[in-house]
Structure 1
Amino acid sequence: MTIPRAGAVGNLAGLARRGFLAQTERLWRTHGDLFEMDLGVGGLLLAVHPDAVREVNLTQRRSFDKAASYDGVRRYLTGEGLVASTGTLWRRQRKLMAPLFTPKAVGAYAEAMLADATRVRGRWERLAADGAVVDMGEEMMELTAAIILRAIFSTAAAAEIVALKSQVETMIRYATARMGPHLPDAIPTPSRHRYRRARAAVHAFIDDVIAQRRALPADEVPRDLLARLMEARDADGVPMAESLLRDESITMFFAGHETTARTLSATWAALAANPRVAARLHAELDDVLGDRTPTLADLHALPYTLQVVKEVLRLYPAAPFYVRDAVEDATVLGHPVAAGTAVMLSPYWTHRHPDFWDDPEVFDPDRFTPDAEAARHPQAYHPFATGERVCIGNHFSLLESHLLLAVLAHRFAPRMVGRQPAWVMEGTLSPAGGLRMRIATR
C-alpha cells in the first residue's frame, strides 16, 4: 500500500489560499495519519499518529536525525549549537549541557524570573490604571527575552539586552525566510545587509563577554549559564571551543525566548476566552498566595496553574511542526521511508487527534491531572518533541511559564480587544495580526 500523496499544483494552491495550518489539516482529514506533501521543490512526509512520533523519535532514533532540513538553521543562526548539531558533536554537547537544565538546576533562575515578572507587574499596574491596550505578544517577548538573556549573561546592562534582543530577532527572521523560496545569498538585499550587521554585532558581543570573563578572578565570575558553559569539561577534560560557546549562547536565546513568549501570549488569549478556567485559576492563586508574591517554593501548591500551561501547550504549541530526516532506510507506520526523506511531525495536529483526545478543540486543563496523563499514549503529547532530542530547555520553559503566570494572573485578567485571534504558522505559532489586549486588574 502506497503513502497518499498531495500533488504539487493542488497543494501549493491550497497553501497559498488557506495557509499552512489549514492546508495540513485538510490533507490530514483527507489522507489520514501519514501522507506526502509535494512542495514543488521537493516533498516531505507529514506524520500525525502518536505511534509515528514514537517510531521517529524513539524506536528508530538512529534512523532519523536533524540533517539537510536543518542546514539553514545551522548556517544562518545557531551554527553548531545544540538545536541543530548532529552525531558525535551533538552527543558531546548534550552530555555537557544536560546538568545545566535539570529541574533542580533551572530553579536557580527563579529569582531572576521573579524579578522581571515583578517589574512587569508594576508596569501593568500603571497600564491598567490608564485602560491601556497592548500587543500581548510584544509584552511577553520583552519579558522572556530579558529573562533568558540575564540567565545567560547576568552582567549585561538593560540597554545591551534590548540591543541584543533586536539583533538576534533579526537573525531569526532572516533564517526563517531562508526556509522558503528566496534569492541567493550573493544578491545584496536590504534584509541580507541587516542580517550581516546583526550577526556581526551578536558575535562581537558574546566574544567580548567571554574575553572579559576569562580575565576575571575565579571568585568574581557570575554564576550564569555562560559561566557554566565555560566551566564544562568533557570526559577527556576538554572545554568547549570559543565558537561553540558563542553558538550555544545564541541557541539558548533562540530556543528559550520566542517559544515561551508564544506560550504565554496564547495563555492570556485562552484565559480571556474561557472565563470558568480563569476563575478556577484565580481561586487557586488566591487560596495559596493570599496577598503574597509567589516564590519557587509555592509552585508545588499551584498544580492547576501548571495544568493551564500544559493545556496551552497542547492546543497552541509554539513549535507546531518539527522535522526529522531519514539518514538511512526506515519505516513509519508500516510504510517504507527512503534515506534522505524529510518526515514532519506535528504536535499541533497530534494534540488534536480525536482517537487520543476527547473534544480536542475544547480548552480543558483537567486533561493534565496526574491520572489523566498516566492513562494517555505517551507520545500523544509532545510540545517539546520527545526521545533523546527532546528540547533540553523544557524544564526551564515550564518553570518560567508557571512562575510568570502565577505572578501576573494573581493580579491581572487581561481582556481581548476584538475577536479571538486566528493562529498561523510563521516559523512559530503566531496570532495573525497580533494579539491586542486591554490590561485589567482583577
Structure 2
Amino acid sequence: MRPPGPGLLQFIHGVRTLGFLDFVGKQWREHGDVFQVRIGRRTLVFAMHPDAVERVNISHRQNYDKLGSYDGVRKYLIGNGIVASTGDLWRRQRKLMAPFYTPKGVQAYAELMIRDGARLVERWEALASKGTEVEIAEEMTNVTASIILKAMFSTETMESIHQMKDAVETMLSFVNDRMAGLSLPDWLPTSKNRKYLAARERVHRSISALIAQRRGTDEASWPDDLLSRLMKARDEETGQAMSETLLRDESITTFFAGHETTARTMTFAWYALATNPKVTERLHEELDRVLGGRTPTADELRQLPYTLQVVKEVLRLYPAAPFYVRDALAADRIAGFDVPAGAAVMLSPYYTHRHPEIWENPEVFDPDRWTREREAARHGYAYHPFAIGQRICIGNNFSLLESHLLLAMLAQRFTPRLRARFEPRWTMQGTLGITNGLPMVITPRRPATPGRVGDLDGRSG
C-alpha cells in the first residue's frame, strides 16, 4: 500500500505559501506518521515515528545509504567528506577519524573553547555596558567559527578566520539554493555563480597551502590540530594516508558541520532562555552554586547537569538539522506502507521530537525531560538531533562539549533579552533558522560570587 500524501501541485503551492517546514508539519497532522510526495520520477517518503527512525538507521540500515539525495552536497560543498561519502570509502574514513571525536578525544579542544569563550565574555561586557543590541546568531556563528578553525588549522588571526567563515558560508548558501531549485545553471555567469566559484577557489587554495606548508616542515613541528591528525592518520591494513583531495574534503566537512550546527544550537538556546524565565532562574542557580563566577573547567561540567539538560532540550525542540535523508537501495515497508527502491526517506528530528505519542506537552521547553530516569524510560529512537546509528554525526561529542562550556560561561554572566514584542519566523534552508534574525540586548547579571573575567584557574591562556 502506498503512503498517502499531497499531489505535486499541492506540494509546490504549500511550500511556497507556508514554507517547507510548516507545510510538512501540516501534512503530518493530516496524513499521519508516513506520507509521500512524488516529484517527477522521484519519491519522497516522510517518516516521523521513532519506530521508522530505528528501522532506517538500525535494524534495516543495510537497505539505506546516502546516494543521489547527497549529490548536490558532494558536488558543490564537501566532495567525499565523511558526511557524504559511502561504501568502503566511508568505512575507511570513519575508522580513521573516529578516535579524534570520542568524548575523551574532544577534551583536547576544551582549553581552546574556554579561551574563545573568555574573549566573548569580554566582548559582551563591553556591549552590556552600552546597552547595545546585537544579532545573536552572528555572535554565536563568529565564536563557533573561530573555535573550529583553530581546532582544525591552528588559525589564530581573526582576518583569516573571517575569510574562511565567509567563503564556506557562501558555498553553503549556494548549495541550499540549488537544493531548493532556486539557482540557475552553473555555466551561466551570474553574480551568484561567480561568487560561489570565487569562494570555493579561496577555500580550496587556502587548505592546499596549509597542507603544502606542513609537508614542507618536520612532522615533529606540526601543531596538534585536526589537520595534523588527519595528515598523520594511516589505514591499518594498507598503511595508506589520505590524499590531498580527501584532506581538503574532510577539512571543509569539519568546518561546515563543526560550526554552523553548534552556532544554531547556541542561538536557539538564548531564545529559549529569554522566553522561559523559570528555566533561566534554575540555570543561574546551578551556575552560581557550582562556579560562583569562575570560568568552568571541562571537568566541572559533570557538576552542571541542568546546564546540559538545557542544551539537550534546545536540541530537541530546535534541532539545527530538522530533516535528514536516507536513500532506499531496495523496496521496503515502513509502518505498513510501501517504500519503493530509490525513494528518498525523509526522517525528521524536528517532528519526531514533537511526537505526542512520545513527548508530553511537546511544544513546551522543559529541561526536566532529561533527568536520567525520564530519559531511560523513553523510546530509544525518539531523540536523534545528530541522526543515530552507524552514521550518527561524528562531531556530536565536540558540539555537546562546546555548547555545554559556552552556555555555562556566558549564562552565568549575562541574560540576553529579546527586543520588545519580537516574534521569530522559523524557516528551514538546509538547517533550521529564523528569517527575521534574533536581535537581543546583552544584559549583565551578577553571579553569586563574582570571579575575574578570563580567570582560567591559574592556567595560561
Native 8 Å contact 1:74 1:80 kept in 2? yes
State the partner residue of 1:428.
431
Change over 3 Å in CA distance of 1:438–1:41 after alignment to 2:
farther
Q: Does 1:100 align with 2:103?
A: no
State the partner residue of 1:197.
198
Q: Does 1:126 align with 2:126?
A: yes
Letter in 2 for 1:223: D
Q: What secondary structure sits across from 1:323 in the alignment? A: strand
Letter in 2 for 1:316: Y
Q: What secondary structure sits across from 1:97 in the alignment? A: helix
Q: Deviation at 1:219?
A: 2.4
Q: What secondary structure sits across from 1:353 in the alignment? A: coil
Q: What secondary structure sits across from 2:240 in the alignment? A: coil
Native 8 Å contact 1:100 1:106 kept in 2? yes
Give distance in 2, aligned partners of 1:355 and 1:370: 20
Native 8 Å contact 2:15 2:23 kept in 1? yes
State the partner residue of 2:219.
218
Q: What are the within-5 Å matches in structure 2 for residues 116-265 of structure 1?
A: 116-181=116-181, 182-235=183-236, 236-265=238-267
Q: Deviation at 1:55?
A: 0.5
Native 8 Å contact 1:11 1:38 kept in 2? no
Native 8 Å contact 1:269 1:420 kept in 2? no
Gaps of 5+ in 1: none
Give distance in 2, aligned partners of 1:310 and 1:267: 10
Q: What secondary structure sits across from 1:211 in the alignment? A: helix
Give distance in 2, aligned partners of 1:172 and 1:11: 25
Q: Deviation at 1:40?
A: 6.0
Q: What secondary structure sits across from 2:104 in the alignment? A: helix
State the partner residue of 1:19.
19
Return 90-99 or 425-434, whichever deviates more: 425-434
State the partner residue of 1:109.
109
Return 5-14 or 37-46, whichever deviates more: 37-46
Measured against aligned partners, the alpha-carbon deviations of 1:322-356 in whole angstroms (never above 9, x if no partner) come to: 11101122222232212110000000000000000
Native 8 Å contact 1:310 1:365 kept in 2? yes
Q: CA RMSD in A?
A: 1.1
Q: Quick one: which of 399, 405, 423 aligns to 2:401? A: 399
Q: Deviation at 1:156?
A: 4.6
Give distance in 1, aligned partners of 2:155 and 2:19: 42
Measured against aligned partners, the alpha-carbon deviations of 1:43-98 in whole angstroms (never above 9, x if no partner) come to: 30110000000111111111000000000000000000000000110000000000
Give distance in 2, aligned partners of 1:323 and 1:129: 46
Q: Deviation at 1:41?
A: 7.3
Native 8 Å contact 2:309 2:367 kept in 1? yes
Give distance in 1, aligned partners of 2:72 and 2:155: 31
Q: What secondary structure sits across from 1:44 in the alignment? A: strand
Give distance in 2, aligned partners of 1:189 and 1:218: 43
Q: What are the within-5 Å matches in structure 2 for residues 339-378 of structure 1?
A: 339-378=341-380
State the partner residue of 2:283.
281
Give distance in 1, aligned partners of 2:397 and 2:284: 24
Give distance in 2, aligned partners of 1:432 and 1:364: 25
Letter in 2 for 1:143: V
Q: Quick one: which of 441, 446, 452 aligns to 1:438? A: 441
Letter in 2 for 1:58: I
State the partner residue of 1:334.
336
Native 8 Å contact 1:34 1:48 kept in 2? yes
Native 8 Å contact 1:309 1:401 kept in 2? yes
Q: What secondary structure sits across from 1:4 in the alignment? A: coil
Q: Deviation at 1:421?
A: 1.1
State the partner residue of 2:303.
301
Letter in 1 for 2:439: R
Deviant stretches of 4+, over 4 Å: none
Gaps of 5+ in 2: 446-461
State the partner residue of 2:450.
none
Letter in 2 for 1:108: A
Letter in 1 for 2:231: M
Q: Deviation at 1:39?
A: 4.4
Native 8 Å contact 1:155 1:222 kept in 2? no
Letter in 2 for 1:226: L
Q: Deviation at 1:299?
A: 0.2
Q: What are the within-5 Å matches in structure 2 for residues 310-325 of structure 1?
A: 310-325=312-327
Q: What secondary structure sits across from 1:257 in the alignment? A: helix
Q: Deviation at 1:222?
A: 0.3
TM-score, length-scaled by structure 1: 0.98
Count of residue pairs the alignment pairs up: 442
Native 8 Å contact 1:46 1:345 kept in 2? yes
Letter in 2 for 1:44: L
TM-score, length-scaled by structure 2: 0.94
Letter in 2 for 1:47: A
State the partner residue of 1:415.
417
Letter in 2 for 1:435: L
Q: Does 1:64 align with 2:71?
A: no
Give distance in 2, aligned partners of 1:329 and 1:291: 57
Percent of counterpart pairs with the same letter?
Answer: 58
Change over 3 Å in CA distance of 1:162–1:41 after alignment to 2:
farther
Native 8 Å contact 1:2 1:335 kept in 2? yes
Give distance in 2, aligned partners of 1:360 and 1:39: 31
Measured against aligned partners, the alpha-carbon deviations of 1:414-441 in whole angstroms (never above 9, x if no partner) come to: 0001324121112111012100000001
Letter in 2 for 1:159: E
